[in-house]
Chain A
């Protein structure tokens, strides 16, 4: 784990944590930023794994990024103050 070349555990753990991108703080009370804030080593390591496996890493996370964005947009509309 955390070596210069990623191994299967690095891949598995990073892909798990990436799922937190779906969370939207105003509705869920937390998001990936707030969850990872106390863990700078984890954040730095995720960046290294993504870099070492680029561009495949972003390729397989494309749908998750899109789904996250869509969910955040839908929830921000739902949470917007009513005009009435």
Chain B
């Protein structure tokens, strides 16, 4: 069987972290949480999660800065990133498109759609057996 995937949840709002944590755990993943981009970055570097779900607007390193810093890591070790944001504007769509394996979801987000997106990504990237 596949090893359990680990998902990192980064949001400064504790309630959002909690609900995503529970929802994602319920769907058979391990979770890690961070309350800002800086903490998130450390976890990405040290614990190498398989996917990152991050808010866009956060104190101490926002979602965009985090993406710019972690995108180079994806060359050697690809992982999935979901950026959660209020309504997206074309300018933001552009930088997100430039990132590897990165998508955005608009707030208010649907927890089940996030889980669907994770499953889809892992299905797509599963090595041929």
User: Are both chains from one complex?
Assistant: no
A residues apposed to B, CB below 8 Å: none
